[in-house]
């Protein structure tokens, strides 16, 4: 069965403007253009659009989706299996949050006692799942499954106070980083203070610390566009600046030329 752009728009629940944009950026091309100049979509395009919407729902940006589906090894069945696995994980997370809300309501009505740890369990699991979806593969490839497992376990064991502390510290790091960036000097006292706070923040997750691990993580902030986007959405250049500050802080930079090549590669 074939669909005009209007019919496909209604079928998928997205706008015709979105479909035109997908065509413009080469994400989803129509099967053909009719003699009247209208976009016509077939079975393959409908299936591909379904995958695109799945990936979007799971938090992938359009450029990443385009790279995935353009890969000659892209397997629709494996993609669906992956979608199902991630959605089941999300379902578990929603169930945990619902349980959390129910327990809180029971506690408010004085029917049950709720520990402070229970209050934050759902939020911690949500944060872990989000990080796993975005960065899990890269982190596991770099540090190994066992290291990631220990880090996740440590995070889940955070007390209420520790959980709130790391959330506040994360925000403080970002604000300090923006102020340090204005100095233009990653070796400044403010920038190095930011790198030191970043180490403290990491220890809420890592079971041990090494300067090499810290420096490698900083390198990921500039090597991986998703990490870069997180910092640069606040101020373009923040990811590179933080990378430079951490390289100096951990004494992993041999000389200025090595640092520049590392942070702009």
Q: Which domains does the chain have, with CATH numbers?
A: 3-70 (1.10.1660.10), 75-157 (no CATH), 158-265 (1.10.490.50)
> Which of 200, 201, 194, 204 minimizes the C-alpha distance to 174?
194
Does the pTM of the predicted model rise above 0.95? no
Give the pLDDT band of residue 261 (cuts 50, 70, 90): very low
Strands across the sheet with 32-33, in order?
3-4, 39-41, 32-33
What is the pLDDT of the chain when averaged over all its residues?
82
* Statement: residue 129 has pLDDT above 70: no
* Statement: residue 199 has pLDDT above 80: yes
* Statement: residue 193 has pLDDT above 50: yes
Give the pLDDT band of residue 242 (cuts 50, 70, 90): very high
- Count of other CB atoms within 10 angstroms of residue 82: 14
Give the pLDDT band of residue 79 (cuts 50, 70, 90): confident
Mean pLDDT over residues 233-252, rounded? 91
Residue 263 or residue 140, greater confidence:
140
* Statement: residue 216 has pLDDT above 70: yes
Contact 211, 252 (CB under 8 A): yes
Q: What is the pLDDT of residue 255?
A: 40
d(CA 9, CA 12): 5
pLDDT digits (tens, 9 = 90+) for 22-74: 999 999 999 999 999 999 999 999 999 999 998 888 878 898 899 888 888 88
Residue 232 or residue 137, greater confidence:
232
Q: What is the pLDDT of residue 78?
A: 85
């Amino acid at each position: 069965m074939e669909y005009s752009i209007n019919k496909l728009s209604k079928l998928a629940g997205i706008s015709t403007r979105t479909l035109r944009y997908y065509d413009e950026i080469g994400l989803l091309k129509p099967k053909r253009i009719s003699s009247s100049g209208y976009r016509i979509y077939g079975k393959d395009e409908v299936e591909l659009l379904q995958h695109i919407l799945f990936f979007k729902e799971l938090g992938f940006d359009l450029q990443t989706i385009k790279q995935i589906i353009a890969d000659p090894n892209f397997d629709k069945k494996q993609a669906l299996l992956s979608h199902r696995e991630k959605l089941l994980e999300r379902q578990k997370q929603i169930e945990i949050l619902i349980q959390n809300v129910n327990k809180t309501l029971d506690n408010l009505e004085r029917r049950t006692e709720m520990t402070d740890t229970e209050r934050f369990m759902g939020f911690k699991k949500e944060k872990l799942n989000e990080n796993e979806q975005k960065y899990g593969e890269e982190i596991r490839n770099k540090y190994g499954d066992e290291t990631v497992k220990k880090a996740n376990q440590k995070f889940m064991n955070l007390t209420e106070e520790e959980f709130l502390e790391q959330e506040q510290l994360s925000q403080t790091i970002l604000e300090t980083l923006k102020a340090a960036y204005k100095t233009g000097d990653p070796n400044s006292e403010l920038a190095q203070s930011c790198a030191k706070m970043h180490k403290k923040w990491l220890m809420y997750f890592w079971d041990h610390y090494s300067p090499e691990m810290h420096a490698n993580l900083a390198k990921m902030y500039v090597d991986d566009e998703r990490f870069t986007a997180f910092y640069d959405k606040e101020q373009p250049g923040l990811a590179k600046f933080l990378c430079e500050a951490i390289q100096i802080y951990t004494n992993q930079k041999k000389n200025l030329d090595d640092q520049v090549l590392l942070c702009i590669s």
